[in-house]
């Protein structure tokens, strides 16, 4: 019985504190990075539930649009205007 009580307390603690561990990632939208053109500063980002990704329009002429296969299954559609900063908080984990 004591083990069940401790487990319940642990699960409750993890549930209520999970958002406090959320991470933020900033990705720059760039015209050039090294030898590549029209790129993002990071190619891959690991996402946990509650993480927010910020896209900074460092160079004009870029936008963000989630495409099938490019984001974790279950992520809502998302499309930004060109040359505007944007952010999205994920409700689904993935890479």
Please state the three-class secondary structure of 42-89 as a single string: CCCCCECCCCEEEEECCCCCCCCECCCCCCCCCCCCCECCCCCCEEEE
Binned at pLDDT 50, 70 and 90, residue 2 comes out as low
Predicted TM-score of the model (pTM)? 0.73
- The model's pLDDT over 32-64, given as tens digits with 9 standing for 90+, comes to 999 999 999 999 999 999 999 999 999 999 999
- The pLDDT score that the predictor gives to residue 12 is 47
Asked if residue 84 has pLDDT above 90, the reply is yes
**Pairwise pLDDT comparison (17 vs 33), residue with the higher score:** 33
Q: Mind listing the domains of the chain with CATH numbers?
A: 22-89 (2.60.40.420)
């Amino acid at each position: 019985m004591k083990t069940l009580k401790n487990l319940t307390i642990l699960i409750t603690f993890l549930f209520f504190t999970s958002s406090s561990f959320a991470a933020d990632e900033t990705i720059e939208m760039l015209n050039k990075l090294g030898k590549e053109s029209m790129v993002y500063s990071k190619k891959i980002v690991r996402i946990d539930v509650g993480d927010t990704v910020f896209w900074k329009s460092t160079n004009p002429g870029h936008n963000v649009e989630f495409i099938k296969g490019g984001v974790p299954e279950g992520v809502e559609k998302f499309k930004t205007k060109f040359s505007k900063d944007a952010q999205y908080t994920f409700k689904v984990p993935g890479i």
